[in-house]
Chains A and B, each alone.
With several copies, the nearest count.
Chain A
Amino acid sequence: MTERYVYMDHSATTAVDRSVLEAMLPYFSEEFGNPNSLHIWGRKARKAVNEAREKVAALVGADASEIIFTGGGSEADNLAIKGAAFARRDKGRHVITTAIEHHAVIDAFHWLEDQGFEVTVLPVDERAMVGISDLESAIRPDTILVSMMYANNEVGTFQPVAEAARICNDRGIIFHVDGVQAAGHIPFNVRDMGIDMLTMSAHKMYGPKGVGGLYIRKGVKIQPIVHGGGQERGLRSGTENTAGIVGFGAAADLASMRFTDGSIEEEVRLRDLLIDSVTSSIEDAYLTGHRTERLPFHASFCIGSLEGESMLLRLDAAGIGASSGSACTSGSLEPSYVLLAMGITHELAHGSLRFSLGKDTTREDIVYVAENLKKIVADLRALSPLWKNRG
């Protein structure tokens, strides 16, 4: 049907890298032991899990003993937030997050609200950045936890995580960072930055789905949400997903390599090419999020007078995979709460589009996407009663 397939939805998920899959393969049918078993099958599995833990720890500058594996990023977010809040609820019941967090964070906070916690939600500016002064003034003597994402999944903007960490560190408040979009894509060091807990997800960095990681700084106490056999230092019970964890380790290794071989810089160049092509060749098309303080692989837009889903499906027909925060893709009537929190109008927010590049994205892919998008926008605008420049 289409001449070409271009996947540009790496913020949604990535393909498991071949080297990662190679590393995982032995742990399904050959080295299949339960890491908790004493025998040779178990010991080999335990060794593999330990090695993977070292690699994931190394990716963010943590110690292996500070990494807990979970069944995904959402679970790690829930564990961090609910776990820390419950462990510290005698110290206070006030918790803080931001208006543009992923649902895994937002909904964990809503649940805390139901359990009697008080939640403050920090606003963001028009580029989706939280103001440090807003954080400072939200903090109260009974604040026990702040959760702020490293980079936003919809619009790519980085938060001032290091400054926020310093403020929380000074006041003895636990500082959690949802690093699902950032970890493995930009180098950073949890210890240097003063992060107390960091959520990661393997499938966002060329690892397998269904494996998450939570860095918990030594000394930070949290309660588990999955109780049982006491695996992962009692913080996440259940037979370890050995193959998945091994894959996460291999993905972390791959990511570490990409930090030093110029890959990230090239990603930034391609991203900027896409941003420039779209905003210059399509009228009434706007970049969302910060122009420079954004994920290296992330280009997001709002396209005036159009609705996101219709663009997505036309792109899909052209072999291009992208995403949108449009209401129609979420099944609700409201467009993305992230875009609305940035002050974008409902009308414009309905026309959101996200292209997230990957390690195998080429210049040709960028050109293909930009050209197709231009044509699709023109076609759909010919149908749109909102579009002014007709005829």
Chain B
Amino acid sequence: MYTEKVMELFMNPKNAGRMEDPDGVGEVGNPRCGDIMKIYIKVKDERIVDISFETFGCASAIASSSMVTEMVKGLTLDEALAISNKDVVNALGGLPPQKIHCSLLAEEGIQAAIEDYRAKRKAGVEAKA
């Protein structure tokens, strides 16, 4: 059912766990639906320098989280925003049709974290101003 890559990342997820003092946090999904993805980022010079995730969900949700965090680590925020769920699916070697929504969560999780970071920064700049 799952590709080897999905299983590998599910069994040994990269960038897993909570982050202390993140610059941005994105949380997407809904416990009612059985999927929550929380992405933590640290940003320096508009670039994601550190990232981690916490995920409540199935194997493909965990693997997608792991994959997307690896993919965007080191990218600029704009580059990271350009990563689509399709890119995640491809990097995973494919997902079963009914699991595509997990990759969508991954895409949305990154977006939410970046938005959070930008909102905070804006608020910070405004506060300083």
Contacts and interface: CB of A to CB of B under 8 A. Distances in A.
A335 B1 contact: no
A11 interface: no
Contacts of B98: 331
Interface string B22-36: 000001000111111
Interface in A340-370: 346-347, 350
B17 A386 contact: no
Contacts of A382: 16-17
A383 interface: yes
A383 B55 contact: yes
Interface string A313-330: 110010000000011100
Interface in B63-95: none
B34 A385 contact: no
Contact of B33 (A38, A305, A306, A327): A327
Interface in B107-127: none
Interface string B1-13: 1000001001101
B104 interface: no
Contacts of B57: 307, 310, 328
B10 A346 contact: no
A43 interface: yes
B101 to A, nearest CB: 8
Nearest to A380: B62
A331 B96 CA distance: 10
A118 B115 CA distance: 52
A310 B31 contact: no
Interface residues of B, number: 28
Given A327-B33, A335-B34, A385-B36, A310 B16 contact: no
A384 interface: yes
Contacts of A350: 31, 34
B31 A309 contact: no
A391 interface: yes
Given A328-B34, A333-B33, A385-B27, A391 B56 contact: no
A4 interface: no
A18 interface: no
The contact size tier of chain A is 20 to 34
B56 A38 contact: no
B54 interface: yes
A383 B31 contact: no
A331 B57 CA distance: 13
B65 to A, nearest CB: 8
A383 B34 contact: no
B13 A383 contact: yes
B18 A391 contact: yes
Given A310-B10, A313-B10, A390-B18, A384 B55 contact: yes
B59 A310 contact: yes
A390 B17 CA distance: 10
Contacts of A309: 58-59
Interface string A371-391: 000000000001111100011
A313 B59 contact: yes
Looking at B13, B32, B35, the one whose CB has the most chain A CB atoms below 10 A away is: B32
Contact of B58 (A43, A326, A385, A391): A326
A388 to B, nearest CB: 12
Given A331-B98, A346-B31, A385 B54 contact: yes
Nearest to B54: A385
A347 B32 contact: yes
B42 interface: no
Nearest to B101: A333
A386 B31 CA distance: 9
B56 A386 contact: yes
A383 B33 contact: no
Looking at A43, A317, A382, A383, the one whose CB has the most chain B CB atoms below 10 A away is: A383
21 contacts: A305-B56, A307-B35, A310-B57, A310-B59, A310-B61, A313-B10, A328-B58, A333-B33, A333-B34, A346-B33, A346-B34, A347-B31, A383-B13, A383-B16, A383-B17, A384-B56, A385-B27, A385-B37, A385-B38, A385-B56, A386-B56
Interface of A: 38, 43, 305-310, 313-314, 317, 326-328, 331, 333, 335, 346-347, 350, 382-386, 390-391
